[in-house]
Amino acid sequence: MGAGRVFAYGAAAGLIGDLLLGDPRRGHPVAAFGRAAAAVERVLWRDHRGWGALHAGVCAGGAVALGAVAERAVRSSPVASVALTAAATWAVVGGTSLAREARAIGRALEAGDVEAARARLPHLCGRDPQALDADGIARAVVESVAENTSDAVVGALVWGAVGGVPGLLGFRAVNTLDAMVGHKSARYRRYGWASARLDDLAGWPGARLTAVLAVPAGPDPRGAVRAWRADAAKHPSPNAGPVEASFAGALGVRLGGTLSYGGRVEHRPVLNSGGRAVVRRDVERAVRLSRRVTWLALGVCAGARLLKRGK
């Protein structure tokens, strides 16, 4: 069995596993990587970009090396190769957990329980929930679903198509490092710089593919293209901008505006200014759009891998 089929079958099985099982409550491989990365940080931390680059290289490089060793160990067995790819895909994608958390908040909002929605929001994103009303929470959820469709699913599939199991593990390692040290706090402004930049680079292709696929997957393809072209570059993130703009246009809603993170207020440009304000029912619409984008991404990435490496 060729590498193309191994990836296609394994990635499909991994996504189905994620759909059926979601993330494990205990012993998640990503959590284990996070603990290992934290241990490396305790040894290497200095308030210096070079040491942060070393941290990123050791942790991400270690994940890639582990994937390469595992892939090499099973390459003589097509069944084991598919199983390994499926396990790696299931371990690194998070589409079901994303949908589950978004829908839990959406149900609380539909029931009029804004306090329950505020309590749940930190499970999904880093916004200050007390500063948000019901519609503000709904907007935060839609934005998080859009961005994490790229970060938690499509980006991993892209790098899996490029590099197999090492690509899958490497992408999730980089994304996890950015979440751990990539933010601009006093401790990580220099040390986390390399992880943040590496995440920008790794996320670039997945973000563009997510934005592209939101066009046919959404209810308003023309709106998605229009908002992407007009507003994506206004966003401070080079990868969140195209994704959120395309989702906003596809759903016919406005995203962006005033946000609050950790007590810090940010005034971001409005994406798809001609759309309407986000309301509670848009949470479910965003989740469905994310699901459609996920399966389209699987088809695109599996097809690309088949063309690259043959059947």
Q: Give the DSSP letter string of 180-245.
A: HH-S-STTTTTTTHHHHHHHHHHHHHHHHHHHHHHHHHSS-HHHHHHHHHHHGGGSSSTTHHHHHH
Mean pLDDT of 56-78: 96
Distance, in Å, from the CA atom of 68 to the CA atom of 184, rounded to the nearest integer, reads 32
User: What is this structure's pTM?
Assistant: 0.93
Q: What is the dihedral of CA 132, 138, 140, 142, to 10 degrees?
A: -170
Closest CA to 87 of 77, 79, 99: 79
Question: pLDDT at position 132, please?
Answer: 85
Distance, in Å, from the CA atom of 177 to the CA atom of 88, rounded to the nearest integer, reads 18
Query: Is residue 110 scored above 80 in pLDDT?
Result: yes
For 79, counting Cβ atoms within 10 Å of its Cβ (0-12 exposed, 13-18 middle, 19+ buried), the class is: exposed
| CA 89 to chain CA mean position, Å | 13
Question: pLDDT at position 263, please?
Answer: 59
CA distances from 62 to 30, 49, 152, 166, 190 (A): 13, 20, 20, 10, 22
Query: Is residue 278 scored above 90 in pLDDT?
Result: yes
**Mean confidence (pLDDT) of the chain:** 93
Closest CA to 158 of 95, 204, 214: 204
The b-or-e profile of 42-51 (16+ CB within 10 A means b, else e) is: eeeeeeeeeb
Percentage of the chain lying above the pLDDT 70 cut: 97
Say how many residues make up the chain.
311
Q: What are the pLDDT digits (tens) for 205-221?
A: 999 999 999 999 999 99
Closest CA to 170 of 189, 150, 186, 156: 156
Distance, in Å, from the CA atom of 37 to the CA atom of 97, rounded to the nearest integer, reads 23
Least confident of 2-11, 239-248, 249-258, 300-309: 300-309
Query: Is residue 310 scored above 60 in pLDDT?
Result: no
Question: pLDDT at position 127, please?
Answer: 78
Phi, psi at residue 309, to the nearest 5°?
Answer: -110, -5
